[in-house]
Chains A and B, each alone.
Chain A
Amino acid sequence: MTESTHAVEPFRFYTRLHLTELLGIKASSLAELIRCMKSVPGSSIYHHTHRFLQQHQYLSPEPPNDFAYWATEALGEEALGEHLASVNTVQFGDIRSLRESLCGTMERYAGEHPRALNKTADPGEEFFFMKSVSFILPTRHEARTLEEFAGILQEITADSLYYHMFESRLRLEKQTNDFSTWFSGSLGDAALAADVERLDPYTHTMEGLRRSLLRLIRSRIPRR
């Protein structure tokens, strides 16, 4: 590819802003948590598996989902917390299968450690269910070449980056991230698309993810 390669279709950057809603539902024990997880809306499972990504844009020692954090901190079940933190979110193409995996992990653990079902969180430490309402809107940024794309990627908010890398793939069930779709479909660069697809965005901070993307993209831009 040369630096003058223009995309068939320009890439329009969107951003996604979210409002957190409280469901008024809480769980005090592992059994209650499993029961509630099976009935709350998918937007609640999505919220609790993605909240940390948005709130902690810088390096944080916390596990990547609220369920893991709660099992460890409120129930004192560190092993369960580790199992839940290790659920590989990037492998799921929809919320339904992610929910099944999380519930399955908890049920297997409860089967092997029945005493865990008897533990309850202290008052105030219960698991409070929430959900995310997403508002998606176009930004003024549009890229026609990789150079333009890299320049804009440096500037956009973490919310915009988040939308194209996480929300679009899992919540909107597009199966892959928007950037890879554009690189292969409009720029004809399947190799770059595959490189970006291979990144596990869940193990990066948002700023770390931005840096990784920029590194991959710049490596494909010929030097002048």
Chain B
Amino acid sequence: MQLDDYIPIVGRSVIEDLRLLSERLSGRRIQHINSTAVGGGVAEILNRMVPLCNELGVDSRWDVITGGERFFGVTKKFHNALHGKPESLTREDFEVFVENGRLNAERTATDADIVFIHDPQPVTLIEKKSGNKWIWRCHVDVSDPLQEVWRFLADYVVRYDAAVFSAPGFSRELPMRQALISPSIDPLSDKNRDIGPDIVDAVMNKYGIPRDKPIVTQISRFDRLKDPVGVLEAYRIAKKNVDCRLVLAGGTASDDPEGAEVYQEVLEKAAGDPDVHILLMSQNDIEINALQRASDVIVQKSLKEGFGLTVTEALWKAKPVLASAVGGIPLQIRHKYSGMLCHSVDGAAFSLKQLLNSPEFAKKLGENGREHVRNNFLLTRHLRDYLLLFLSMNITGDVVYL
């Protein structure tokens, strides 16, 4: 995909602005580092972002740290703890984390002008900082973390030159500059591009989902923080008054060892209801796209959420979305304007009934949501913010003439 391909969606001037900015970054080298090449929003964004940066002449590369089952077990605990979930961490857990970081530091060159570290897993690489600029990008909701884990990570974080958060509530008192940069979706990716009804039909047939009644869908990794059981409960309450089907679809990320367990739990709780479809899917973006387009309502009832890119994807498809008011979701949804926000199972059930019973209202929410995404949450805006962030690493002041 080339930058010019985005002109029909965002306009020629937006692309021209990117070219103007990138000229000011000519010659600088950027290195992204994260912990997984596939699965999850970070890898998805980097997959598109890095080639586009290179097309703009901003020399960018992407490295992935390695780690065994033990390491990713610890980082999953960290992830849960940063979201405020009680986790018991041992001294050995912290040692595993540090040792894995040391091994990765040995085999990873970090000599770019700007090293861009994504999420906590590679955070210890900052030990290698030597004269270049380092940015820590936090994709998770750290508004109310377990202090034991946050304090441990903060010792590394404060050594970065800048931090980036996805929502205002994640910011903390830190000694360096903190940028607010929302993630984004790529409107031309297989997950988001327009597809024909024949593809949608084929996917629904493949998974045996009849379209005889309204379809309510949550697409998310099988992760407790995504609350698939809560979605099931809300669906059961709503179904007493409005007949519908529920689709819970998702996979697991390579850095998430808890996924299979949660999947089993959801299967057991849904047993016996033929209108509930639980799909454990491998990475297949066209199928996700089709499932979203076939749905009447998209749900994202997360208990914690970094940003909630599945919400962005659904809004871009002009779907009515019902989602928890957590993390970055309120940035995307203004209640009753571009979607519905909820705080509980009962609240979710009530809004679900409203959306299913008032299709005109639901349609308007979806349309507003699509325009909001077009203006604020597409890849081109994200790319622009990163270019500005890179430029800001060498300036001071609040008004900069380039």
Interface residues of A (CB under 8 A from B): 15, 17-24, 41, 43, 55-58, 60-62, 123-124, 126, 128, 130-137, 139-140, 155-157, 159-160, 171-172
Chain A residues with Cβ under 8 A from B391's Cβ? 135
Chain A residues with Cβ under 8 A from B143's Cβ? 124
Chain A residues with Cβ under 8 A from B177's Cβ? 21
Contacting residue for A22 out of B13, B17, B179, B371, CB 8 A:
B179
Chain A residues with Cβ under 8 A from B385's Cβ? 19
A60-B337 CB under 8 A given contacts A17-B384, A19-B389, A135-B388: yes
A22-B180 CB under 8 A given contacts A60-B337, A124-B143, A137-B20: yes
**In the complex, A22→B170 CA distance in Å?**
9
Contacting residue for B12 out of A61, A131, A155, A171, CB 8 A:
A155
Would A19 and B402 count as touching, CB distance under 8 A? Answer: no
With an 8 A cutoff between CB atoms, is B91 at the interface? no
**In the complex, A95→B392 CA distance in Å?**
23
A21-B180 CB under 8 A given contacts A128-B169, A134-B400, A157-B13: yes
A20-B179 CB under 8 A given contacts A62-B334, A133-B400: yes
Would A128 and B171 count as touching, CB distance under 8 A? Answer: yes
**In the complex, A135→B394 CA distance in Å?**
13
Would B376 and A20 count as touching, CB distance under 8 A? Answer: no
Chain A residues with Cβ under 8 A from B179's Cβ? 19-22
Chain A residues with Cβ under 8 A from B14's Cβ? 157
Chain B residues with Cβ under 8 A from A134's Cβ? 398-400
**In the complex, A123→B84 CA distance in Å?**
13
With an 8 A cutoff between CB atoms, is B95 at the interface? no
* Residues 1-59 (chain B) with a chain A CB within 8 angstroms: 11-14, 16-17, 20-21, 24
Chain B residues with Cβ under 8 A from A24's Cβ? 171-174, 178
Would B20 and A22 count as touching, CB distance under 8 A? Answer: no
With an 8 A cutoff between CB atoms, is B372 at the interface? yes
**In the complex, A173→B208 CA distance in Å?**
63
Rounded to whole Å, the gap between the CB of B231 and the closest CB of chain A is: 21
Nearest CB in chain A to that of B372: its residue: A56
A17-B178 CB under 8 A given contacts A57-B375, A58-B371, A171-B399: no
Interface string of B359-402 (1 = CB under 8 A from A): 00000000010011001100000001100110110000111111
Chain A residues with Cβ under 8 A from B384's Cβ? 17
**In the complex, A136→B20 CA distance in Å?**
11
Chain B residues with Cβ under 8 A from A58's Cβ? 368, 371-372, 375
Chain B residues with Cβ under 8 A from A130's Cβ? 168, 180
Nearest CB in chain B to that of A43: its residue: B398
23 contacts between A and B (CB under 8 A): A17-B384, A21-B180, A22-B168, A22-B171, A24-B171, A41-B398, A43-B398, A55-B372, A57-B375, A58-B372, A128-B169, A128-B171, A132-B398, A133-B398, A133-B399, A134-B398, A136-B401, A137-B401, A139-B13, A139-B20, A140-B16, A155-B13, A172-B399
Nearest CB in chain A to that of B371: its residue: A58
Sample of 10 further A-B pairs with CB below 8 A, known A41-B398, A137-B20: A18-B388, A20-B181, A21-B178, A21-B180, A22-B178, A22-B180, A55-B376, A57-B375, A124-B144, A157-B17
**In the complex, A57→B372 CA distance in Å?**
8
With an 8 A cutoff between CB atoms, is B307 at the interface? no
Would B375 and A55 count as touching, CB distance under 8 A? Answer: yes
**In the complex, A140→B15 CA distance in Å?**
13
With an 8 A cutoff between CB atoms, is B165 at the interface? yes
**In the complex, A41→B173 CA distance in Å?**
16
**In the complex, A64→B402 CA distance in Å?**
29
Nearest CB in chain A to that of B162: its residue: A21
Rounded to whole Å, the gap between the CB of B23 and the closest CB of chain A is: 9
**In the complex, A132→B168 CA distance in Å?**
13
**In the complex, A66→B86 CA distance in Å?**
34
**In the complex, A135→B178 CA distance in Å?**
17
Would B17 and A17 count as touching, CB distance under 8 A? Answer: yes
Nearest CB in chain B to that of A129: its residue: B168
**In the complex, A17→B384 CA distance in Å?**
8
**In the complex, A33→B13 CA distance in Å?**
38
Nearest CB in chain A to that of B397: its residue: A133
Nearest CB in chain A to that of B398: its residue: A43
